[in-house]
Amino acid sequence: MLFHSMLLFTVMVMQGLAYQFAPHHASGSGYLSSSLKARPAVSCSPLGPRVQRSRAALILRSLKASAHNDRVASWEFLHSKLPLCKRRAKKEEGELQFHRDASCASLQARSVWLALMEKGIAYREVLEGAEQQVPSLVLASSRATGMKECFALLEEQFPDVPLLPPSDQQRARVLAMVDAAEKVMGEASFARGFWRSDQQLKSAYSSACDVLTTCEGLLEQEGGDLFGADVFTLADAAFAPVLEVSVFVEDLVLFLGGKTSSTFPRVRAWKKAMEERVSSYASRTGSDLVSLILESSEHDDEETKAMLQKLLLRDSWKEVMSSREKPVWVSFTRRYPSFAKSPQVEAAAVLIEQRAALRRRIHESVPEVVGGKTRMRQGGESEEGDMPSLVLRLLSSSILDAPDYQTAPTFANMYLSTVMQELSEDEITELIEILDFLRCSIAAPRDMGFLPVRALRAYVAWLMSEARKEKRGRKETAALP
Tens digits of pLDDT across the chain (481 residues): 444 444 444 434 344 433 333 333 333 334 333 333 333 333 333 344 444 444 444 334 444 444 455 679 999 999 999 999 998 876 666 789 999 999 999 999 999 999 999 999 999 999 998 778 899 999 988 999 999 999 999 999 999 999 999 999 999 999 999 999 999 998 888 877 888 888 989 999 999 999 999 999 999 999 999 998 889 999 999 999 999 999 999 999 999 888 878 899 999 999 999 999 999 999 999 999 999 888 887 656 778 888 888 888 888 888 888 888 889 999 999 999 999 999 999 999 999 999 999 999 999 899 999 999 999 887 655 566 789 999 999 999 999 998 888 888 888 888 998 999 999 999 999 999 999 999 988 999 999 999 999 999 999 999 999 999 999 999 999 998 8
DSSP secondary structure, 304-345, as one string: HHHHHHHHHTTS-HHHHHHSPPPHHHHHHHHH-TTS-SSHHH
Residue 284 to residue 54: CA distance in whole angstroms: 51
Residues 6+ apart with CB under 8 A from 2: none
Residue 172 to residue 18: CA distance in whole angstroms: 76
Please tell me the predicted confidence (pLDDT) of residue 1.
46
Amino acid letter for position 33: S
Sign of the Cα torsion 279, 284, 288, 292 reads negative
Residue 420 to residue 71: CA distance in whole angstroms: 10
- Collapsing DSSP states into helix, strand and coil, what is residue 474? helix
Please tell me the predicted confidence (pLDDT) of residue 66.
47
Cis peptide before 403 (omega within 30 of 0): no
* Under 8 Å between Cβ of 14 and 45: yes
List of domains in the chain: 94-162 (3.40.30.10), 163-335 (1.20.1050)
- Give whole-number Cα distances, 317 to 170, 223, 298, 342, 453, in Å: 44, 37, 26, 17, 12
